[in-house]
Amino acid sequence: MSNLMKAVQINSFGDRNVLMLNDIAIPTPADNEILIKVKSASVNPVDWKIREGYLQPMLNHLLPLTLGWDVSGEVAAIGKNVDNLKVGDAVYSRPDITKNGSYAEYQTVAADEAAIKPNSLTWQEAAGVPLAALTAWQSLYEFAKLEAGERALIHAGSGAVGQFAIQLAKLRGAYVYTTTSSRNTELVKSLGADQTIDYNKEDFSELKDIDVVFDTIGGDTQANSWKTLKKGGRLVSVTENPDHAIATKHGVSASFCFVQPNREQLEKLAELADAGKLKVNIDSEFTLDQVAEAHDRSETGRAQGKIIINVSA
């Protein structure tokens, strides 16, 4: 095996023109890490926000940086302290976002950030799960503490995070409202949404007595969500930190979720997928030399599911 691999990196922050397909050294796993031969990665909005430099004050990345923080692949090597995984295992992960990512033929990942890939999912489908599904899981289950019988409003239900949020909310026993466009109504209903709101024709802010709002959009959407909540309701955002003074004024609580790696949650998501309780929709697929086009697709905000980067067969 050559000691070089191909990786899509940035040497400076900016638009899609800063994306470069480079030949770089294959990394060596540290004692607590595994080396993954990447099969598929996926594109998330955080990827191009990092590329643009928007998150640099928070993440302080060193350049050059390999992008991509969803991965599925095979374990190619393990560090000396790794005992939960072995070479040849099929795994998936949402790894540490402060380190080099998965737009590469190989990636090192902390062993406690990776789980065995769901058997029922393809490499592409598996790569589409970790970041988006963990975001929905942590937002709804950990921050909002959604309970059976509650009413949840999930914004942008046809987006990747929204699709997982609908499914996880239904699995928890909630009644789910979601905002979407009319062309995606059947899609979100197929995932379990009880009531859809066409944001082009209807005003979601007329809803009342909602227990949990899951904000995946921010801005005016967040501002108009407060009045939908009942007293004691909860708003969780993944786009911008909610104003706690406004939350207090409405008699509700609010929190911001920035998804974290979690092997145990990935294992539970794999169980759900293998039990047929978690669907993964793929919007489009690209190759390593088409990452700019993949980012372009993501930046439109129109993707109906996951955008996948196929790295190796």
**CATH number reported for the structural domain that contains residue 200 in this entry:** 3.40.50.720
Q: Say what the pLDDT of residue 90 is.
A: 98
Q: Is 250 part of any domain?
A: yes
Q: Is 273 part of any domain?
A: no
Q: Say what the pLDDT of residue 136 is.
A: 98
Are 108 and 143 members of one domain?
no
Range of the domain at 66: 4-129+280-310
Q: Is 158 part of any domain?
A: yes
Are 144 and 173 members of one domain?
yes
State yes or no: pLDDT of 313 exceeds 90.
no
Q: Is 270 part of any domain?
A: no
State yes or no: pLDDT of 45 exceeds 70.
yes
When pLDDT is cut at 50, 70 and 90, the band that residue 2 belongs to is confident
Are 96 and 166 members of one domain?
no
State yes or no: pLDDT of 50 exceeds 80.
yes
Report d(CA 288, CA 43) in Å as an integer.
Answer: 11
Q: Please compute the mean of the pLDDT values over residues 143-163 and round it to a whole number.
A: 97
Contact 308, 40 (CB under 8 A): yes
Q: Say what the pLDDT of residue 21 is.
A: 98
Q: Please compute the mean of the pLDDT values over residues 263-281 and round it to a whole number.
A: 98
Number of compact structural domains in the chain: 2
Q: Is 43 part of any domain?
A: yes
Helix/strand/coil for 52: helix
Stated pTM of the model: 0.96
* pLDDT tens-digit map of 56-75: 999 999 999 999 999 999 99
Contact 104, 65 (CB under 8 A): no
Are 8 and 125 members of one domain?
yes
Are 75 and 191 members of one domain?
no
Are 172 and 94 members of one domain?
no
Are 24 and 66 members of one domain?
yes
Q: Is 272 part of any domain?
A: no
Are 169 and 77 members of one domain?
no
Are 115 and 155 members of one domain?
no
- Count Cβ atoms within 10 A of the Cβ of residue 260 and give its class: 0-12 exposed, 13-18 middle, 19 or more buried: middle
> What CATH number did the domain enclosing 93 receive?
3.90.180.10
Q: Say what the pLDDT of residue 312 is.
A: 92
- Beta-carbon contacts of 90 under 8 Å, excluding residues fewer than 6 positions away, are 72, 73, 74, 116, 117
Q: Please compute the mean of the pLDDT values over residues 200-205 and round it to a whole number.
A: 95
Helices (H), the chain: 45-52, 56-59, 123-127, 130-137, 160-172, 185-190, 219-223, 244-250, 263-274, 291-299
When pLDDT is cut at 50, 70 and 90, the band that residue 1 belongs to is low
Are 105 and 142 members of one domain?
no
- Count Cβ atoms within 10 A of the Cβ of residue 113 and give its class: 0-12 exposed, 13-18 middle, 19 or more buried: buried
Are 150 and 114 members of one domain?
no
Place of tokens 């595994």: 34
Are 289 and 251 members of one domain?
no
Q: Is 275 part of any domain?
A: no
Q: Is 264 part of any domain?
A: no
